[in-house]
Structure 1
Amino acid sequence: MINYNNFIRALIIKNKDIVTAIVFMAIIAYVLPYYTVGGQGANAPSDGQSVGGGGAGGGGGGAGVTGVPIHVVQRTVFQRPYELLPCTQSVVELKKDLIPTTDFPSLVNETVSKFKVTVLNVYNTPDYKAMLLAEGDEKKVLQDPHFLPASATCGEMILELLPSLVPVTNIYDVANQVVSTYHVKVVDVYNMTDYKAIVILAEPDNAITKDSRFINYNQNNTLSSNYTGSGELDLSSGHIAAPAPVLKEETLPDSIKRTFTTEDLKGNAKSNFSKGVDADIAILDTGIDLNHPDLNVYRNVSFIPGGKTGDDDNGHGTHVAGIAAAKDNGKGVIGAAPGARLWSVKVCDKAGECKVSDMIKGIEYITQHADEIDVVNISVETPLSPALNRAISASVKAGVTYVVAAGNYGHDASTTSPASDPDVMTVSAIADSDGKCGGTGPALKAHNVTDDSFAHFSNFGPSVAIAAPGVDILSTYLKGGYAIDSGTSMAAPSVAGAAALIKAGDPNMSPEGVKKALLGTGSTPLTPCEGGPQGYFTGDPDQYKEPLLFRKLGAK
């Protein structure tokens, strides 16, 4: 049988922190061959056009070698990475047309009194006026029509005066001058006898990096590993010489932060999930780890020859299941529909190969339980199969909502199944590294993508209905563990979980109604980024600008 594979970079990270796991992934990508678990990578050679089988669509592109195993190693990282500094999105600027006529100190005082916010710094120059607020306070202040949000910044830059200028320069005057000239945000001033410097929120492309008053790191880059010209760019903090912390508390993955309101995932709203979402999600995949403590596996069945249960012997299906519905139990991770009942419908074998005939058997089983199953996730891609598409369409007609991965070839999804079926919700993948819009998070180096951009491996085209995060996604894995993986396989279950939430609120809603509801609340190119999760992405390779998943749980 012809193999249609894509690679999976999955590293078990049970009792390891997320950042450590990402470093492990980079190491594995460098020293070990790719593990071929599912739909063929974007750069892998095609083996033909047979519709005999597809792969569990696990990872984005890469030239995987069929049959070459890889050992997943669990060990302490020798060089523990530094923690990234948080991005700052709490600067608000006075509108330009109001600058000449506004008494800014008085406006600042009025703003503090009216909105009960904390002002960390005020920038009051003749042609630029702004406030640096405590994180989160900008949402309150931006209700005032006087203000606009400033661009988000990640990290800091330290600008040191040339030694020759230190004895004769008032550093506070310099701080005021650079705010007026370059519109940077000064957060600290150092005024010592032999050392004077200012700290600004990082803007490495700002013209201030060419200001001749400051030490130019390009002229002697041994002073810093991160230099921008004038100024040292610091993107991470230091740490004490101690072991990496273990995952002691429940983690909210960035893929969930990016697609649901913060209010819905914290406090009293979040507590509503502790008993589990009242909905049923079928995972048509390699199975699910039946004993995983973070998953509510309700039913399981296998359509693999010789398979007696729906237990997972690959890992892909368990990872997908956690993204959709990991419990809100104070441990591990949280899924999009926490604690929803999971049906493990095993149609892919240990190697991640999925025969179309076995998939249709699984769809038949699901349709027989259409009065119980609300949503189906299929993170599998095969060559175009009208038979598979028609089977799914029949199941949709029976009232079951289907969410499927777009596939990882980096081409038009209309040439594959089930992504080409017009009755399903086909999901493309984006990269998100900080759970926020704006593209200011760190780059995801394992896949050479930037924050809030279209994943290069993702299929696209008119068949795609919606997008969701699918790069470096943290979720459940085999033997009760956790892993990071990438692919449109990881994007689809976020949408499946969101669909399950809708069905929990309105069990009688049709698949078309669920689709309309999700597309109606998604972020579009016209959606403004206001510092939170709601906002669009860059790099969509076609003219069909599918919405990015965003769900307010109160919205029906």
Structure 2
Amino acid sequence: MRNSSRRTFLKGTAGVIGGSVFATGSAVATGDEGTERFLIDLQEVDRSDVPDSVDIIHDIGEIDLLAASGDPDEVPGVASTTPDIAVYQDDTGPAVEHSGPNGKGNSASHNHDGPATNTELQWDKRVQEVDNLTDKPGGGKTVHDVTEGAGTRIAIVDSGVYDGHPDLADVVNPELSQNFTTDPYDFRPNGAGDHGTHVAGTVAATNSNDGPDGGVLGSAPETELVAYRVFSGVEAASGDVLGALVEAAKDGCDAANISLGYPPLPAENPAVIEIKEAYERTAAYAREQGMLIVNSAGNDSQDMDEDGILSLPTEAEGIFGVSATGPIGFGWGGKHSDNEEKWLTGNRLEEPTTQPAFYTNYGSAVDVSAGGGNADLNGPEEYYRDLVLSTVVSDDGTDDPTSGYAWKAGTSMAAPQVTGAVALVRSLNPDASVEEVESLIQETASMPDEGETYHGAGHLDLQALVDAASGKGK
């Protein structure tokens, strides 16, 4: 692993990395008019004893919780309430924007028919052989020759999804999609940013943009997405996330992607312990309904096995945690700058696509790793090609949002790679249990040199996964 400039990278990429808060401690979410948000444990107090002065925001009775706002001291019982800790978007600043596959119009990096198209810049999908994504495909069998995720449903619990994007227009179910915040808007971003739209594209973009640069392709373009918006800005309430996850399970989703989290939290703090238990109740309920919750492991370069801290929700039992990997040198130029086919194998690929990203959290809570992007800001201007390219939206708080594409990096970008994989498995085996889906993803994963510490059971391998799910594996 290249460690020489790790801290320099971490500081320099604060604007492009998703999945970390870069802060210490925790904050309590606030309700309308500044009132305190808190959770009520119905295992500790009867519902009838909750006074009318307390505003119930989400009734999550399926897991014996209420998300509430007001004065927690008005609820009887010392153990009946806990602060509703704020949860954060996995985005710490603007993405490196992509205004076309090669904004300067220089085609020297591509030797086929002009500048690279968007799909040719998707190293994460190309290395997984999702489909023939170059203008000169190799002709071998791809993942989409087996399945594109038809008949499945995936929840995106995030900042909203812009369903007006040409690569997402026929993917999002607007009837089921919901806003779980207390603002008056719908499930679309409405000023909450493009994070959820980027995640959605990684799962299910359809490459439907008929412009000269084309679109991007997701792992499971025939799945159905349901957007559950839990952010109005970069901060949300844990209760909104828990309510959205329970609703997603009730709506029959096969998996829920939560590319969100908290800074490292003190493990012995009573409120932290209660939030961890709330996620475990939620995961248990979701699994009973057949839904797997996939979570980004976090971007703090944190050893999650360190005593005294918790990385949530990843360390909650029943949550599937994903760490991030990415290349260094994809399409940078050099000896093979004129041969796009060699971008993944050429002399300038200094680190492979399975290289643990410099920012990723690691430890025993990682179930698998997946492509989330990497970066060397001391490299050439093409460094951003080592991030993940996907769908975005700008001016999302207006009546006329603008669809586009951008590179981002983070465990936020790695988690939806796995969430899309769940859709592929369930499309082939609709009756597979959550445990069977998890086991199949882990058993077919390949193990890079860094081992379990960074990769859990291994690195996501879609080809091996769909072969095993379709009965063609070894």
Conserved in 2, the CA contact under 8 Å of 1:39 and 1:380?
yes
Q: Any residues of structure 2 matched to 1:209-358 within 5 Å, and which?
A: 245=115, 247=117, 250-251=119-120, 253-260=122-129, 277-295=150-168, 296-299=171-174, 300-312=177-189, 313=191, 314-329=193-208, 331-350=214-233, 352-358=234-240
Deviation at 1:520, TM superposition (A): 1.0
Are residue 40 (structure 1) and residue 73 (structure 2) matched?
no
TM-score of the pair, normalised by structure 1: 0.54
CA RMSD of aligned residues (A): 3.9
Conserved in 1, the CA contact under 8 Å of 2:219 and 2:420?
yes
Aligned partner letter, 2:162: D
What is the match of residue 490 of structure 1?
413
Conserved in 2, the CA contact under 8 Å of 1:347 and 1:362?
yes
Q: Distance in 2 between matches of 1:425 and 1:436?
A: 33
Deviations 1:420-442 (A, max 9, x none): 12312210001136599998664
Deviation at 1:523, TM superposition (A): 0.4
What is the match of residue 444 of structure 2?
521
**Equivalent of 1:469 in 353, 360, 371:** 371
Deviations 1:157-193 (A, max 9, x none): xxxxxxxxxxxxxxxxxxxxxxxxxxxxxxxxxxxxx
SS at match of 2:217: coil
Conserved in 1, the CA contact under 8 Å of 2:16 and 2:409?
no
User: Aligned pair in 2 of structure 1 residues 509, 349: CA closer, same or farther (>3 Å)?
Assistant: same
Deviation at 1:78, TM superposition (A): 5.9
**Equivalent of 2:321 in 416, 426, 430:** 426
Q: Distance in 2 between matches of 1:71 and 1:487?
A: 13
SS at match of 1:491: helix
Q: Distance in 2 between matches of 1:324 and 1:353?
A: 23
Q: Distance in 1 between matches of 2:442 and 2:95?
A: 39
Aligned partner letter, 2:432: M
SS at match of 2:453: coil
Conserved in 1, the CA contact under 8 Å of 2:167 and 2:391?
yes
What is the match of residue 259 of structure 2?
379
Structure 1: runs of 5 or more not aligned:
1-25, 85-236, 525-535
SS at match of 1:453: coil
Aligned partner letter, 1:432: P
TM-score of the pair, normalised by structure 2: 0.62
Q: Any residues of structure 2 matched to 1:101-120 within 5 Å, and which?
A: none
Conserved in 2, the CA contact under 8 Å of 1:363 and 1:395?
yes
Are residue 416 (structure 1) and residue 316 (structure 2) matched?
no
User: Aligned pair in 2 of structure 1 residues 36, 48: CA closer, same or farther (>3 Å)?
Assistant: farther
Deviations 1:325-348 (A, max 9, x none): 111547401111123110001012
Q: Distance in 2 between matches of 1:38 and 1:262?
A: 26
User: Aligned pair in 2 of structure 1 residues 271, 358: CA closer, same or farther (>3 Å)?
Assistant: closer
Deviations 1:340-390 (A, max 9, x none): 11000101223x222101101101211221xx3111111111245312332
User: Aligned pair in 2 of structure 1 residues 545, 503: CA closer, same or farther (>3 Å)?
Assistant: closer
Percent identity between the two aligned chains:
26
SS at match of 1:290: coil
SS at match of 2:293: strand
Aligned partner letter, 1:54: V
Q: Distance in 2 between matches of 1:71 and 1:333?
A: 16
Deviation at 1:514, TM superposition (A): 0.3
What is the match of residue 502 of structure 1?
425
User: Aligned pair in 2 of structure 1 residues 402, 252: CA closer, same or farther (>3 Å)?
Assistant: farther
The alignment covers a number of residue pairs equal to 341
What is the match of residue 458 of structure 2?
547
User: Aligned pair in 2 of structure 1 residues 364, 519: CA closer, same or farther (>3 Å)?
Assistant: same
Deviation at 1:549, TM superposition (A): 0.1
Are residue 457 (structure 1) and residue 359 (structure 2) matched?
yes
SS at match of 1:508: coil
Aligned partner letter, 1:277: A
Deviation at 1:554, TM superposition (A): 2.9
**Equivalent of 1:83 in 102, 105, 109:** 109
Conserved in 1, the CA contact under 8 Å of 2:18 and 2:90?
yes
User: Aligned pair in 2 of structure 1 residues 49, 348: CA closer, same or farther (>3 Å)?
Assistant: closer
Conserved in 1, the CA contact under 8 Å of 2:256 and 2:419?
yes
Q: Distance in 2 between matches of 1:511 and 1:71?
A: 36
Deviation at 1:80, TM superposition (A): 5.0
User: Aligned pair in 2 of structure 1 residues 55, 273: CA closer, same or farther (>3 Å)?
Assistant: farther
Aligned partner letter, 1:323: T
SS at match of 2:467: coil
Conserved in 1, the CA contact under 8 Å of 2:321 and 2:366?
yes
Aligned partner letter, 2:185: K
Q: Distance in 2 between matches of 1:252 and 1:73?
A: 11
Q: Distance in 1 between matches of 2:407 and 2:342?
A: 19
Q: Distance in 2 between matches of 1:546 and 1:358?
A: 31
Conserved in 1, the CA contact under 8 Å of 2:131 and 2:144?
no
Deviations 1:43-81 (A, max 9, x none): x3425476611212246xxxx7xxxx8996959856958
Aligned partner letter, 2:356: F
Q: Distance in 2 between matches of 1:523 and 1:430?
A: 13
SS at match of 1:480: strand
What is the match of residue 401 of structure 1?
292
Q: Distance in 1 between matches of 2:207 and 2:188?
A: 22
SS at match of 1:417: coil
Aligned partner letter, 2:301: G
Q: Distance in 2 between matches of 1:551 and 1:500?
A: 11
Q: Distance in 1 between matches of 2:95 and 2:417?
A: 28
Deviations 1:62-107 (A, max 9, x none): xx7xxxx8996959856958528xxxxxxxxxxxxxxxxxxxxxxx
User: Aligned pair in 2 of structure 1 residues 413, 288: CA closer, same or farther (>3 Å)?
Assistant: farther
Structure 2: runs of 5 or more not aligned:
1-8, 29-83, 266-271, 331-340, 374-386, 394-401, 470-474
Deviations 1:193-249 (A, max 9, x none): xxxxxxxxxxxxxxxxxxxxxxxxxxxxxxxxxxxxxxxxxxxx9x99xxx8474x7
Higher radius of gyration, 1 or 2: 1
SS at match of 1:395: helix
What is the match of residue 362 of structure 1?
244
What is the match of residue 40 of structure 2?
none
Q: Distance in 1 between matches of 2:148 and 2:365?
A: 36
**Equivalent of 1:480 in 400, 403, 407:** 403
Conserved in 2, the CA contact under 8 Å of 1:294 and 1:333?
yes
Q: Distance in 1 between matches of 2:450 and 2:343?
A: 14
Aligned partner letter, 1:46: T
User: Aligned pair in 2 of structure 1 residues 416, 81: CA closer, same or farther (>3 Å)?
Assistant: farther
User: Aligned pair in 2 of structure 1 residues 550, 389: CA closer, same or farther (>3 Å)?
Assistant: same
Q: Distance in 1 between matches of 2:410 and 2:285?
A: 27
Deviations 1:248-290 (A, max 9, x none): x754721122234778996786775898622111001001012
Q: Distance in 2 between matches of 1:518 and 1:274?
A: 15
Q: Distance in 1 between matches of 2:161 and 2:454?
A: 37
Aligned partner letter, 1:380: L
Deviation at 1:306, TM superposition (A): 1.6
Conserved in 1, the CA contact under 8 Å of 2:99 and 2:404?
no
User: Aligned pair in 2 of structure 1 residues 522, 304: CA closer, same or farther (>3 Å)?
Assistant: same
Aligned partner letter, 2:420: G
SS at match of 2:462: coil
Deviation at 1:408, TM superposition (A): 0.8
